[in-house]
Amino acid sequence: MSLLEAFGEGFTRRALLEAVMVGGLCGVVGVHVLLRRLPFFTMALGHATFPGVVLAGLLGMSLFAGAAVFGAVVVLVVALLGARDRVDDTSAVGVTLSGAFALGVLLLSAQAGFSRDLTAYLVGSIVTVQPGDLVTTAVVGLAVLATLAALHKELVLGAFDRGGLAALGYPVLVLDVVLLLVIEATVVTSIPAVGTILAVALIVAPAATARLWTERLRATMALAAALGATSGVVGLTISFQWRLAAGATIVLVAAVLFAVSLVVAPRHGLLARRLAHVGPGSAPTSSRA
C-alpha cells in the first residue's frame, strides 16, 4: 500500500507530521553537533539515555524526564571519567555507553514483552506515534529552536574559540551544558521516529550533507532542516511502499543524500576536488595516534 493510498488513515498523517518535524529539528541541531565535533558523543548519548527511557517507561513517567535525568547523569559521568589520568575521552565515552546500554537491556529483559519494546526504543516505531507525541515533539522542537536562535552567536563563537568566549566574560561551561541538553532533547524527541541507535544519523547526516553545499552557517542550518524533513518524508514513503522498517529507511535516505553529495557537490565533493588539483595528494599527516 502506498503512502498516498494510506494517507486517509490517521496514523499515516501523524507519522508524516512527526517525520517532518523530527527531520527538520535534527537537521538544525546537527549543524551544532558537527561544529563541535560531537557525533561520537551524540551516539553515546543516544545509547546511554536508553536506560533512562526504559526506566521512565516502566515507571509510567514521561520519557523526557527519564531521558533527561539519565542524560545529565551520563554527561557528568563522561566528564568525570575523562578528567582522570589514563582515561581518555574516547574510552570514557565507550565505557559509559556500554554500561548504560547494558543497564537498559537488563531493565527491559526483566520484563515481559522484551523484544517488542526493545525494538521500538532502538529503531523507532513511527507508525504508532500518538497525537500526544506530536504535541511533545512540536513543543520541544520549538523550545530547542528558540534556544538555538537566542544563543546563536554565543554558541558559534564557543565552538570556534572557547578561550575567546571566556575572555569576553561568557559562562562557557553553562553554554556547553545548554547545548548538550539541547542535543539530548533532540535525541529523545527522535526516539519514536528513528529510535536511539539511529537518532545520531538523522542529526548528523543532513547537516553533514548541507555542509558540502554551502559555507554560510545560517544557510547550512536551513538546508540541513530541509534535508532532514525530506529524508523523513521520502523515507516514510518508501517504507510504506515496500513494507520496510520506517526509521531505518529514513536514515538510509539521509545517508544516500549524503553519499551523493559527497561525490557531486561543487567545491567540496570528491569529483570537484579531483578536477581541481593536479599535483600529488596532501602530505600524509600522522593519523589519529
Partner 1 sequence: MNLFEPFTIPYMQRALVEVLVLGALAGAVGVLVVLRRLAFVGDALTHTVFPGVVMAHLLGRSLLLGALAFGVLTAVLLTAVGRHRRVGDDAALAILLTSFFSLGVVLISRTRGFTADLTVFLFGRVLAVDRTDLVQTLTVAAVAAIVLAALHKELVLRAFDPEATAAMGYRTGTLDLALNLLIALVVVAAVEAVGTVLVIALIVVPAAAARLLADRVGAMTALACLLGAAGGWLGLAVSYEASVDHGVRLAAGATIVVVLVGLFLLAAAVAPLRRRRAAAGGHP
Partner 2 sequence: MDPDLVLVLRRATVAYDRDPVVEGVDGEVAAGQSVALIGPNGAGKSTLIRAVLGLVPLTGGTIQALGRSPQAARRQVAYVPQADILDAEFPVSALQVVLMGRYPRVGWVRRPGAADRQVAARALAEVGLAERASARFGTLSGGQRQRVLLARAIAQEPRLLLLDEPFNGVDALSQDLLLAALARLRAGGAAVVMATHDLGLAHLACDEVCLLNRHQIGFGPIGTTLTPELLRATYGGQALQLRGDGVIVARP
Interface region with partner 1, contact rule CB under 8 A, candidates 62-70, 143-151, 179-187, 249-257 = 249-257
Chain residues 44-83 in contact with partner 1, contact rule CB under 8 A: 81
| CB nearer to partner 1: pick between 136 and 183 | 183
Give the three cell numbers for residue 73: 547523569
Task: Please name which of 224, 65, 207 lies closest in space to residue 136, comparing C-alpha atoms.
Answer: 65
Q: How far is CA 80 from CA 85, 88, 260, in A?
A: 11, 11, 40
Secondary structure (DSSP) of 261-288: HHHH-TTTSHHHHHHH--S---------
249 belongs to the binding site for partner 1 (CB under 8 A) = yes
Give CA torsion, residues 112, 113, 114, 120, to 10 deg.
-150
Kindly tell me which residue out of 112, 169, 283, 287 binds partner 2, with binding defined by CB under 8 A: 283
Q: How far is the CB of 117 from partner 1 (least distance, A)?
A: 9
Q: How far is the CB of 139 from partner 1 (least distance, A)?
A: 27
- Output phi, psi for 194, to 5 deg: -125, 0
Q: How far is the CB of 92 from partner 2 (least distance, A)?
A: 14
Chain residues 107-166 in contact with partner 1, contact rule CB under 8 A: 109-110, 114-116, 118-119, 122-123
Total residues at interface with partner 1 (CB under 8 A)? 66
Whether residue 250 contacts residue 194, with contact meaning beta carbons closer than 8 Å, is answered with: yes
85 belongs to the binding site for partner 2 (CB under 8 A) = yes
Kindly tell me which residue out of 112, 278, 287, 288 binds partner 2, with binding defined by CB under 8 A: 278
Neighbouring residues of 192: CB distance < 8 A, sequence distance ≥ 6: 18, 124, 125, 126, 128, 129, 133, 137
| CB nearer to partner 1: pick between 181 and 262 | 262
| CB nearer to partner 1: pick between 103 and 222 | 103
Q: How far is the CB of 135 from partner 1 (least distance, A)?
A: 27
Whether residue 133 contacts residue 192, with contact meaning beta carbons closer than 8 Å, is answered with: yes
Q: How far is the CB of 253 from partner 1 (least distance, A)?
A: 9
Q: How far is the CB of 282 from partner 2 (least distance, A)?
A: 6
How many helices (H) does the chain have, and how many strands (E)? 14, 0
Q: How far is CA 134 from CA 212, 253, 259, in A?
A: 31, 22, 30
Tell me how far apart the alpha carbons of residues 8 and 197 are, in angstroms, rounded to a whole number: 31
- Output phi, psi for 285, to 5 deg: -75, 155
Binding site for partner 2 (CB under 8 A): 85-86, 276-280, 282-284, 289
Binding site for partner 1 (CB under 8 A): 34, 37-40, 42-43, 81, 84-91, 93-95, 97-99, 101-103, 105-106, 109-110, 114-116, 118-119, 122-123, 197-198, 200-201, 204-205, 207-208, 211-212, 242-245, 247-249, 251-252, 255-256, 258, 262, 268, 273, 284, 286-289
